[in-house]
Structure 1
Amino acid sequence: MAAMGAEAEFTDRVVIVTGAGSGIGRAAALAFARAGARVLGVGRRQEALDATARRHPGIAAFAADICADEAPDAVVQAAVDRWGGVDVLVNNAGATALMPLAEATASRIDELFRLNVTAPSLLARAALPHLRRTSGAIVNVSSTYGHRPMAHAAHYAATKSALEHLTRSWALELAPDRIRVNAVAPGPTESDALTAAGLSADMVDRIKHDEADRIPLGRRGEPEEVATWLLRLADPGSGWLTGQVLTIDGGLELL
């Protein structure tokens, strides 16, 4: 059996990574490409995706809003047209939203679930025929707060909890097709997520400082530390591993 994480395992394999314009998604796209994969980096911002693609010739940029009705099929078809199939889908794109219950609205809740739950589901559905042919893998990106309460952001936590349950349920459903489904659940990780959530620079700094203080290992994570485990979960060398959610959070979930 091949060693887990060996570069040869990804040579010429086709990997779709959503949210590839920054943070964990960019780190994942680069890690897969460096391991020999052909990577379709997906996101809404063409400029950010181009910046990712410029860092490795194995990455192709595909700008799309994955919440748009036709986007899941278009994303998968772009990979198939370019390279002939799909071996791995990394559902990384998502949004964090601070939304106390007193400020919750139907539109904000719907928007959050559409991005964090519905879009990954429809991307997986679109990729399914190709993953069946390759005995491929789906790796979802959850959060420590997918299985840990989060005050003032309950609906965000609920979307990640839903994604974790989808991971386990899909693993069971797709096992007869030899498609493995796993997830990583990062803790606070350096990214643009807080700024993208509309928070001020001062608030972002304060949140990052508070998070680092609460983490037993004393710091926030780096995107590359999460990307390492995305590769390992997708690696065919991990062929007997499915339905698992791996928490990578410096010990935060232990508190």
Structure 2
Amino acid sequence: MTDLSGKVALVTGGRSGIGAASAEALAEAGARVFTAQRGADVQFEFFETDFMDSSAPARLIDQVIETAGRLDVLVNNAGLMREGTVLESSPEDWDATLQVNLTAPFLLTKAAMPHLIETKGSIVNIGSIEGIGSNPRHPAYCASKAGLHGLTRAVAVDHGPDGVRCNAVAPGWIDTDLNVAFIESLGDPDAFRAKIGDIHPLRRTGAPKDVGALVAWLASDAADFVTGQVWTVDGGRMTQLSLP
């Protein structure tokens, strides 16, 4: 059973999409949930945070500890995607993507670790199947997510002896508001839905709650012997080969 009663959780980018679904699942399991992102969160306690600012992660962890007195779960979800091949992408695009997707999780983990050691806590990083494969024109995003998967394993190895677990979730196509809006902007949304459904053995795309449920389980004592893993949540997309 996923039980997080009495635990305190922080979800970055927790106002929408996968972050919101993760925050909801953690709260349903009994956790006190904080989110952190640009702007307010009408559902959970929140701290307005700009992860382009390298000083923000340490400040954010201090705010959570000052408010709640402890931290048990860190979910590194906030992310950025800028499209373009290596020829099209600027160094600024590269730096911004890695700052938000990889450096911020590193700095958050660094600041949170002493508190997570105290509570024997858990980290869940939101990676991507693009940390395993690649869609076109996503070099910076793919590099950042592959790096986040590597960071996950390194933290699990280094801090397992301290009682801290660290896992990652690698979602595939998830019907976030952003993705749904993209589909609706196309000339024939129904045809696109059918096409993208066909590349999934389950013949459908995922919902944010599909990821959130796994995040909550990984954060809980039900997954007490699970660490250093990257959990793919993609409806079998990465398993199904294309036709010859």
| Structure 1 residues 194-230: Cα deviation after superposition (integer angstroms, max 9, x where no partner) | 599x999338958766533322222211000100000
| Structure 1 residues 223-250: Cα deviation after superposition (integer angstroms, max 9, x where no partner) | 0010000011111221111100000100
Q: Separation in 1 of the partners of 2:235 and 2:25?
A: 21
Q: Separation in 1 of the partners of 2:89 and 2:154?
A: 29
Picking from 140, 150, 163, the partner of 2:125 is 140
Q: How many aligned residue pairs are there?
A: 239
Asked if 1:30 corresponds to 2:24, the answer is: yes
Q: Aligned runs of 1:1-255 on 2, under 5 Å?
A: 4-5=1-2, 7=3, 10-46=4-40, 49-50=41-42, 53=43, 59-194=44-179, 201-202=185-186, 210-254=195-239, 255=241
**What residue identity is the alignment partner of 1:165?**
G
What is the TM-score of this pair, normalised by structure 2? 0.90
Query: How has the CA–CA distance of structure 1 residues 240 and 193 changed in structure 2, closer, same or farther, with 3 Å as cutoff?
Result: same
Measured after TM superposition, the shift of residue 84 of structure 1 is: 0.4
Q: Separation in 1 of the partners of 2:188 and 2:102?
A: 25
- Secondary structure of the 1:181 match is strand
Q: Separation in 1 of the partners of 2:118 and 2:188?
A: 44
Measured after TM superposition, the shift of residue 135 of structure 1 is: 0.8
Identical counterparts, % of pairs:
37
Q: Separation in 2 of the partners of 1:203 and 1:30?
A: 33
Deviates more, 1:21-30 or 1:147-156: 147-156
Q: Separation in 2 of the partners of 1:203 and 1:182?
A: 39
- Secondary structure of the 1:160 match is helix
Structure with greater helix percent? 1
Cα RMSD between the aligned structures? 2.2
